[in-house]
Amino acid sequence: MKIGFIGLGRMGSAMATNLLKAGHDVTVYNRSRDKAEALVGEGAKVAATVAEACRGGAVFTMLANDDALSAVVHGDGGVLASLQRNAIHISASTISVALSERLTKEHAAVGQRFVAAPVFGRPEVAAAGKLFVTAAGEPEAIEAVTPLFEAIGQRSFVVGEEPKSANLVKLSGNFLIASVIESLGEAMALVEKGGVDRHQYLDLLTSTLFGSPVYKTYGGLIADRKFNPAGFAAPLGQKDIRLALAAGEALNVPLPLASLLRDRFLTLLAHGGEDLDWSAVGALAAKDAGLGQD
């Protein structure tokens, strides 16, 4: 399938690579062109403009946040202005429910189609083509792009016909992960101050009740106090909690645990956490308890 791919960060580059490996004809675009050039060896064509990446039947966007996505979608030469009639914009970014709703309307108004398809998985998972894709949109559009999902992920889940449903699910998923981080942070602070070794404790947890990779991965980072380099940076985590809260606000859904996470992220950012992994939130309980930060 002839497609475009816009946004070649660590996640986007891995996804585009897997699309190329699966035999798709991919034209890639990135604001800083070097990341696009890096994929030429994999068979990618490089677009000089957003518009050039919008000439196929579908275009992926994988960008950092609402503003970055809006910047490539709106305005002259943007995705909206460039995509052919009936072509599909697949938004894989973690964006707000509000922007998803807006894009759904805007694309429909000009005869294009919009599918939200945010993904779960850190960069190494993306590289392995093992992402989980959470998709929502009109059934026909979803069906048309399913082969693309198969190229980037191990499984895809269709959660509704309104694209925003997928965004809501993605945000809630990141909220759940952040909840794990906070709960592990508190539990480890408690047992550590009570004299139990936190690595031994984590081993017990993950060997018994909490065997899933989320507990192993984030528990390990917290126990090791290894928050650098960031697999998923704290400002992105803060953004996602903000978007989950905003979605809750629009729906009148109080989310006290998300509120607690909000304040944790702000505390982290107020103390130089900009470049840390979001799991650094899991060290704040220990800090409040007066434990050393080693």
Question: At CA 256, angle to CA 255 and CA 258, rounded to 5?
Answer: 70
Q: How far is the CB of 265 from its own copies (least distance, A)?
A: 8
Q: How far is the CB of 263 from its own copies (least distance, A)?
A: 4
Token look-up 């729906």 returns 251
Nearer to its own copies, 5 or 201 (CB): 201
Q: How far is the CB of 56 from its own copies (least distance, A)?
A: 29
227-237 as b/e: b if 16+ CB within 10 A: beebbbbbbbb
Q: Which of 45, 170, 239, 287 is catalytic?
A: 170
Q: How far is the CB of 46 from its own copies (least distance, A)?
A: 33
Backbone angles phi and psi of 291, in degrees to 5: -80, 150
Nearer to its own copies, 36 or 244 (CB): 244
For 251, the token pair is 């729906």
**How many residues can be counted in the chain?**
294
Q: Answer yes or no: 193 catalytic.
A: no
Question: How far is Cα of residue 41 from the mean position of the Cα atoms in its chain?
Answer: 26
Nearer to its own copies, 32 or 208 (CB): 208
Nearer to its own copies, 77 or 272 (CB): 272
Report how far residue 102's alpha carbon sits from residue 23's, in angstroms, rounded to the nearest whole number: 32
Nearer to its own copies, 225 or 242 (CB): 242
- CA quadruple 154, 158, 164, 167: dihedral sign: negative
- What is the residue-wise DSSP string for 225-276? T---S-SSBHHHHHHHHHHHHHHHHHHT---HHHHHHHHHHHHHHHTTGGGS
Q: Which helix or strand (DSSP H or E) is residue 15 part of?
A: helix 10-21
Rg of the chain (C-alpha set): 20
Q: How far is the CB of 196 from its own copies (least distance, A)?
A: 5
Active site residues: 170
